[in-house]
Amino acid sequence: MTEQTSDIDKKEWDKIDDFLRTVYSAGDDMKVIIKTMDPSKQSKAEEDVKLLQKVAQAAQGPVSKKDAEGFGTIAAKADALFEDFFDLLRDVPDEL
């Protein structure tokens, strides 16, 4: 996130807060998807989802303080967890 805290108005912070709730809720949907995964990947996927929900909760701190840099750091972690989860869904061999 390259924005400075002063560049984000209250309305945008409120939308970020709403987004975090959506991210947390998406974790519940992801838990349903895990049941359809290859059993060898389910444990890692469950770990990713748990961490994602914890990250979404942890992001509330920087958002309540209107700390753009802090939120950016946490958002990058959430992005990496989403990416890991979706990588686990891939069933096409890397050789292709």
Q: Is 59 helix (H, G, I), strand (E, B) or coil?
A: coil
Report pLDDT for 56: 96
Q: Is 47 helix (H, G, I), strand (E, B) or coil?
A: helix
Report pLDDT for 75: 94
pLDDT-based confidence at residue 81 (cuts at 50, 70, 90): very high
In sequence order, which residues have a C-beta less than 8 Å from that of residue 91 and are 6 or more positions away?
A: 38
Long-range CB contact pairs, 19-26, < 8 A, 24+: 20/56, 20/59, 20/60, 20/63, 21/56, 23/52, 23/56, 23/78, 24/53, 24/56, 24/57, 26/52
**Residue 91 reports pLDDT greater than 70:** yes
pLDDT tens-digit map of 26-78: 999 999 999 999 999 999 999 999 999 999 999 999 999 999 999 999 999 99
